[in-house]
């Protein structure tokens, strides 16, 4: 009969831990606070701003990321406003309000485009990029559906136009970001 390479669990007192000089399993050092994946280190937030852990954005106090419903409402409102102003009026209106980091539909609904990397409202050039180039990119083949899916599933609710311009859309009910 051959001897098994596995130790018999009923044989007590015959393992390496029972030999002389065995100190036991060394204890791991204590885990420091904030260690590991999924935990955020506290970060310095500029005066008048707050860090939203759900979206991982730093936003001005009194401003919040625009809701999905508000963004969808702005999409349909922009269609209505384009029809009512015969397109050209909407475009001229856009040229005027882009300097305030908004579009005609966003302006009506109290929303702005925010540049998280710069902690500021989008400039006229950023808004032109977002609305013209982002609009063209969103209008190609199945891109409106892709843009909508990205917008619904992303924690920062970015559409393709937002990705092109590196912006997020925020709701500013108290006009914290200016008139």
The predicted pLDDT at position 149 comes to 94
Residue 102's closest CA among 165, 9, 38?
165
Instruction: Dump pLDDT digits (tens) for 96-105.
Output: 999 999 999 9
The predicted pLDDT at position 136 comes to 87
Question: What span, in angstroms and rounded, lies between the C-alpha atoms of 55 and 158?
Answer: 11
Q: What does the H/E/C string look like for 130-178?
A: HHHHHHHHHCCCCHHHHHHHHHHHCCCCCCHHHHHHCCEEEECCCCCCC
The predicted pLDDT at position 18 comes to 59
Task: Judge whether 150 and 159 are in contact, CB under 8 Å.
Answer: yes
The predicted pLDDT at position 139 comes to 79
- Which H or E element spans position 77? helix 68-84
The predicted pLDDT at position 178 comes to 82
CB neighbours (10 Å) of residue 91? 14
Those residues of the chain that have pLDDT short of 70 are 1-43, 179
Task: Judge whether 123 and 102 are in contact, CB under 8 Å.
Answer: no
Q: What is the pTM of this model?
A: 0.73
The predicted pLDDT at position 3 comes to 60
């Amino acid at each position: 009969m051959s001897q098994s390479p596995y130790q018999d669990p009923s044989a007590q007192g015959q393992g390496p831990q029972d030999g002389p000089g065995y100190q036991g399993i060394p204890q791991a050092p204590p885990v420091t606070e904030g260690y590991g994946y999924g935990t955020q280190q506290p970060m310095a937030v500029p005066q008048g701003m707050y860090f939203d852990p759900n979206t991982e954005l730093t936003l001005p106090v009194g401003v919040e990321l625009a809701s999905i419903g508000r963004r969808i409402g702005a999409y349909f409102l922009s269609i209505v406003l384009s029809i009512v102003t015969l397109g050209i009026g909407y475009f001229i209106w856009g040229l005027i309000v882009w300097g305030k980091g908004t579009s005609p539909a966003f302006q009506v609904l109290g929303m702005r485009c925010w540049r998280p990397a710069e902690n500021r409202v989008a400039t006229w050039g950023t808004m032109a990029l977002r609305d013209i180039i982002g609009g063209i990119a969103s209008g190609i083949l199945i891109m409106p559906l892709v843009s909508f899916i990205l917008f619904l599933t992303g924690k920062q609710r970015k559409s393709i136009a937002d990705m092109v311009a590196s912006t997020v859309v925020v709701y500013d009910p108290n006009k914290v970001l200016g008139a």
